[in-house]
């Protein structure tokens, strides 16, 4: 079965620090990759997605992620975080054609002002 690993469960940063959240998946075939974010008290919403093409994808609010096929990774990055980025971040993988997502366990990010 496919699985998704997010190794950082809790991350605490100061404003303006750079962010990188790790995501690794275990499937050797074609995958579609997603990062979702859940701000306190809000719906889960899509941050960015990779289906094909340029492995560096840009999302909303200055986030980006890089798909490295050889490492089965899809790490999320932001050069300078803000207090408003405090949220829980979920990586998800869709095995191409199956239409359902497998989520990681999430990373709680706290950005201190």
Partner 1 sequence: DVKVTQSSRYLVKRTGEKVFLECVQDMDHENMFWYRQDPGLGLRLIYFSYDVKMKEKGDIPEGYSVSREKKERFSLILESASTNQTSMYLCASSFGREGTYEQYFGPGTRLTVT
Among 14, 26, 105, 112, binds partner 1 (CB under 8 A): 105
| Kind plus residue range of the DSSP H or E element containing 94 | strand 87-95
Using the structure block, give the residue that is written with the tokens 């050797």. 28
Question: Does 14 engage in binding with partner 1 (CB under 8 A)?
Answer: no
Comparison of 85 and 94: residue with beta carbon closer to partner 1? 94
Comparison of 17 and 32: residue with beta carbon closer to partner 1? 32
**Is residue 55 within 8 Å of 9, Cβ to Cβ?**
no
Smallest distance from partner 1 to CB 69, Å: 18
Total number of residues that touch partner 1 (CB under 8 A) = 24
Q: Which stretch binds partner 1 (CB under 8 A): 11-19, 31-39, 60-68, 71-79?
A: 31-39
Instruction: Tell me how far apart the alpha carbons of residues 48 and 4 are, in angstroms, rounded to a whole number.
Output: 17
Pick out residues in 42-81 that bind partner 1 (CB under 8 A): 42-46, 49, 51
Half-sphere exposure of residue 46: CA atoms within 13 angstroms, side-chain side? 10
Instruction: Tell me how far apart the alpha carbons of residues 81 and 22 are, in angstroms, rounded to a whole number.
Output: 16
In 3D, which of 21, 35, 42, 48 has the Cα closest to residue 110? 21
Rule CB under 8 A: which residues touch partner 1? 6, 9, 32, 34, 36, 42-46, 49, 51, 90, 92, 94, 97, 99-106
């Amino acid at each position: 079965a496919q699985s998704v690993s997010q190794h950082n469960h809790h991350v605490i940063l100061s404003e303006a620090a750079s962010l990188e959240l790790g995501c690794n998946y275990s499937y050797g075939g074609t995958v579609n990759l997603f990062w979702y974010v859940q701000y306190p008290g809000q719906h889960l919403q899509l941050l960015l997605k990779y289906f094909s093409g340029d492995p560096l994808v840009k999302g909303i609010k200055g986030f980006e992620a890089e798909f490295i096929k050889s490492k089965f990774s899809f790490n999320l990055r932001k050069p300078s975080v803000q207090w408003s980025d405090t949220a829980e971040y979920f990586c998800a993988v869709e095995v191409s054609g199956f239409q359902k997502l497998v989520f990681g366990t999430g990373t709680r990010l706290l950005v201190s002002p």
